[in-house]
Chains A and B, each alone.
Chain A
């Protein structure tokens, strides 16, 4: 048995025994568009995972991880999805901030923050986007001033996932002047539980809310809570974005496969599977799903070879567009039933939520349009957009 298969089977065995008793009811709960579901219980489940050493498996051992290889991390995400385990709550700290601190943090920062991420005692949110800095991240206006006691942060962030559940926020703020807009930025770690921080939920088209606005009004953080040097914020923030498009996306196709299989099951039950046009669209969806998997395998091969190839830049645009189209097919499979909610006030079913919330897939983490600019300019070498 290869080391990957050993790792896979060990985690599968643990999940089978771990996801029982009080946790069994959590199967399938949470996730995009449904982060409000059973949050406290999912947090308890994740701490249960942490106690057994199944969080942060990809971190090096010296920082409390298992030093899992890329293949093992893929196996981890696949098994997690196959077990229908509940959507993660500590993933922002584990997959984004943790690797960033390991790469850029000081020993003191690692010692202070990594254990809390690993044990899921401290949850993190990501303060990048602002009302005037969405795709154009270099336009951040939030300011941080250095004084005798540390940093004072003032400004507004938006689209902040899980801010209302997080103890800490890593954010990009303007701390100095630069000739170019992405100079003079710093990457700060700010505690959320203080008078200078206010979180306001944003109601989404699903009626649920996992994004927030976060207002900082002279919010305080310690002098040492800057990652990298002041002024290095852009470089550190970009590295974090790289981790965002990392290994976790390799496991997501398992979740997509479950969705498609469930949709095909519905089509068989309600007769939609006899419609030749819908059959074709379901088969096309299946074709896309296989391609997402093969794209991911190529990306993994490229990462293992130390040179991410062009497949890395197509992954996001491909899966996001595929998932959005799956939502459209789902509504055609549902037919007239798709017009009706399960109940008041606005209790949508999984297919309706997929249809609505998948519209966000092609917007967040770099919209399709931004991805196209990246491909055209960085891969195909076409001229850059004119910038004011």
Chain B
């Protein structure tokens, strides 16, 4: 589970580009100069033919700077959903970054396939979708809104994946105000919107996309947590109180040593999941759940340490600490909470769920 030279080059390229282009403005150069959106797309559909390990590297770097770009929503969720469904016509435009995609998935705060209530009904003019989707990454309209809209909905035959053409009637998009200001989310309401079926076995597609999404997000959480630790170590070495650097106090040293153990063990979990995804391991679901649970908790804890060890400046709007803290919270809840993923692990390794665990997402 070690990166090769080409991975280090990719990392360096993404890192230096993000240093030159701040915020959402980085997306154009990322897609045009490095081709990040097409990294995990096969060459025949205009991509680079790489895979989860390259996605891992990009996500770590995006996490370090909390870059507000639509990589996760478009290059991971929408792109992998189309690949899993075997519907390839839209891939070239997603791969070269000329358009972005969004996957409308969660309902009532849950990403579990059984939580999908949106209906798709076949009529004279094709499929029509009705329902409400929340937490759609980059799903708002206007410039920067996703051009390729994919929707998980239920037919009489079960869960399926649909493509809603852009500009279709019966679709309203409303941006959520998010606590984490670096990851836009939207509510999408469908009222008989026209749609094209792209994948009939939605349970399989969504389960696979969730595994890849959790794996990619875990890498982002590791990158962000690592950056929190770097910034905090630098701060406690510089900050002098009682005539000595506060980093010389053992209470501070041990707290940061524990943070280091958290970050590195989370990294192990994330790497394990990425490598399992790369080789098509049958255990990917479990590794993805392990990574999402461990990396969520590690990032949340280290972001909390960052505020504490910065003291007063850590609770100001001006300092970046709250941005990491809010991203930690948002990414922890995205695609299911740590406890929810441990519940999936428990189902696999302990056995069927007893009464009383229904509260878990």
List of B residues within 8 angstroms of A282 by Cβ: 346, 349-350
**Interface majority SS on B: helix, strand, loop or mixed?**
helix
Q: Is the CB of B256 within 8 A of A279?
A: no
Tell me, yes or no, whether B233 is within 8 Å of chain A by CB: yes
Q: Name the residue on B nearest A281 (C-beta).
A: B342
Tell me, yes or no, whether B247 is within 8 Å of chain A by CB: yes
Partner of B354, one of A274, A290, A295, A317: A274
Q: Is the CB of A290 within 8 A of B290?
A: yes
Chain B residues within 8 Å of A, Cβ to Cβ: 1-2, 233, 236-237, 244-245, 247-248, 250, 252-254, 256-258, 260-261, 264-266, 268-269, 271-272, 286-287, 290, 293-294, 339, 342-343, 345-346, 349-351, 353-357, 360
The interface centre, meaning the residue of B245, B346, B354, B360 with most chain A CB atoms within 10 A of its CB, is B346
The interface centre, meaning the residue of A264, A279, A301, A385 with most chain B CB atoms within 10 A of its CB, is A279
List of B residues within 8 angstroms of A293 by Cβ: 272
Chain A residues within 8 Å of B, Cβ to Cβ: 264, 267-268, 273-276, 279-280, 282-284, 286-287, 290-291, 293-295, 297-298, 301-302, 305, 310-311, 314, 317-318, 369, 371-373, 375-377, 379-383, 385
The interface centre, meaning the residue of B1, B247, B350, B355 with most chain A CB atoms within 10 A of its CB, is B350
List of A residues within 8 angstroms of B260 by Cβ: 310, 314, 375, 379-380
In the assembled complex, the CB of B228 is this many whole angstroms from the nearest CB of chain A, namely: 13
Docked CA distance A359–B356 (Å): 32
Q: Is the CB of A373 within 8 A of B253?
A: yes
Sorted nearest first, the 8 A-B pairs with minimum C-beta distance are: A274-B354, A376-B253, A294-B268, A283-B342, A383-B248, A372-B257, A294-B272, A375-B257
Docked CA distance A276–B250 (Å): 37
Q: Evaluate whether A290 and B265 lie within 8 angstroms (CB atoms) in the complex, with A375-B260, A383-B247 already known.
A: no
Partner of B287, one of A290, A305, A376: A290
Q: Name the residue on A nearest B2 (C-beta).
A: A301
List of B residues within 8 angstroms of A291 by Cβ: 265-266, 268-269, 272, 290, 294
List of A residues within 8 angstroms of B272 by Cβ: 290-291, 293-294, 297
Partner of A382, one of B233, B293, B345, B346: B233
Docked CA distance A314–B253 (Å): 15
In the assembled complex, the CB of A9 is this many whole angstroms from the nearest CB of chain B, namely: 21
Docked CA distance A264–B311 (Å): 43
Docked CA distance A369–B343 (Å): 32
Docked CA distance A276–B211 (Å): 23
Docked CA distance A305–B260 (Å): 22
Please name 16 pairs of A and B residues whose Cβ atoms are closer than 8 Å in the assembled complex, sorted by A: A273-B350, A274-B355, A276-B356, A276-B360, A279-B343, A280-B343, A282-B346, A290-B269, A290-B272, A314-B260, A372-B257, A375-B257, A379-B260, A382-B253, A383-B244, A383-B248
In the assembled complex, the CB of B328 is this many whole angstroms from the nearest CB of chain A, namely: 18
In the assembled complex, the CB of B321 is this many whole angstroms from the nearest CB of chain A, namely: 18
In the assembled complex, the CB of A288 is this many whole angstroms from the nearest CB of chain B, namely: 8
Docked CA distance A264–B348 (Å): 11
In the assembled complex, the CB of A134 is this many whole angstroms from the nearest CB of chain B, namely: 18
Docked CA distance A302–B2 (Å): 8
In the assembled complex, the CB of A94 is this many whole angstroms from the nearest CB of chain B, namely: 28
Docked CA distance A276–B354 (Å): 7
In the assembled complex, the CB of B112 is this many whole angstroms from the nearest CB of chain A, namely: 16
The interface centre, meaning the residue of A283, A297, A301, A373 with most chain B CB atoms within 10 A of its CB, is A283
Q: Evaluate whether A311 and B264 lie within 8 angstroms (CB atoms) in the complex, with A283-B349, A372-B258 already known.
A: yes
List of A residues within 8 angstroms of B350 by Cβ: 264, 267-268, 273, 279, 282-283
List of B residues within 8 angstroms of A295 by Cβ: 264-265, 268
Docked CA distance A301–B293 (Å): 24
Q: Is the CB of B269 within 8 A of A294?
A: yes
**Interface majority SS on A: helix, strand, loop or mixed?**
helix
Partner of A301, one of B1, B244, B290, B360: B1
Q: Is the CB of B261 within 8 A of A314?
A: yes
Q: Name the residue on B nearest A371 (C-beta).
A: B257
Q: Is the CB of A268 within 8 A of B351?
A: yes
List of A residues within 8 angstroms of B236 by Cβ: 382
Q: Is the CB of B1 within 8 A of A372?
A: no
In the assembled complex, the CB of B331 is this many whole angstroms from the nearest CB of chain A, namely: 17
List of A residues within 8 angstroms of B252 by Cβ: 382
Q: Evaluate whether A373 and B257 lie within 8 angstroms (CB atoms) in the complex, with A268-B351, A381-B233 already known.
A: yes
If A302-B2, A376-B257 are given as contacts, then 13 extra A-B residue pairs at C-beta distance below 8 Å, sorted by A number, are A264-B349, A268-B351, A276-B353, A279-B350, A279-B354, A282-B349, A283-B343, A294-B268, A372-B258, A373-B250, A377-B253, A382-B247, A382-B256
Partner of A286, one of B256, B268, B345, B357: B345
List of B residues within 8 angstroms of A268 by Cβ: 350-351
Q: Name the residue on A nearest B233 (C-beta).
A: A380
The interface centre, meaning the residue of B258, B266, B268, B360 with most chain A CB atoms within 10 A of its CB, is B268
The interface centre, meaning the residue of B2, B247, B261, B286 with most chain A CB atoms within 10 A of its CB, is B261
Partner of B346, one of A280, A305, A381: A280
Docked CA distance A343–B354 (Å): 33
In the assembled complex, the CB of A388 is this many whole angstroms from the nearest CB of chain B, namely: 15
Q: Evaluate whether A314 and B237 lie within 8 angstroms (CB atoms) in the complex, with A264-B350, A283-B342 already known.
A: no
Q: Is the CB of B351 within 8 A of A273?
A: yes
Q: Is the CB of A383 within 8 A of B245?
A: yes
List of B residues within 8 angstroms of A301 by Cβ: 1-2
In the assembled complex, the CB of B344 is this many whole angstroms from the nearest CB of chain A, namely: 8
Docked CA distance A279–B268 (Å): 23
In the assembled complex, the CB of B264 is this many whole angstroms from the nearest CB of chain A, namely: 5
The interface centre, meaning the residue of A267, A273, A305, A376 with most chain B CB atoms within 10 A of its CB, is A376
Q: Is the CB of B354 within 8 A of A314?
A: no
List of A residues within 8 angstroms of B266 by Cβ: 291
List of A residues within 8 angstroms of B261 by Cβ: 314, 317-318, 375
In the assembled complex, the CB of A191 is this many whole angstroms from the nearest CB of chain B, namely: 41
In the assembled complex, the CB of B237 is this many whole angstroms from the nearest CB of chain A, namely: 7
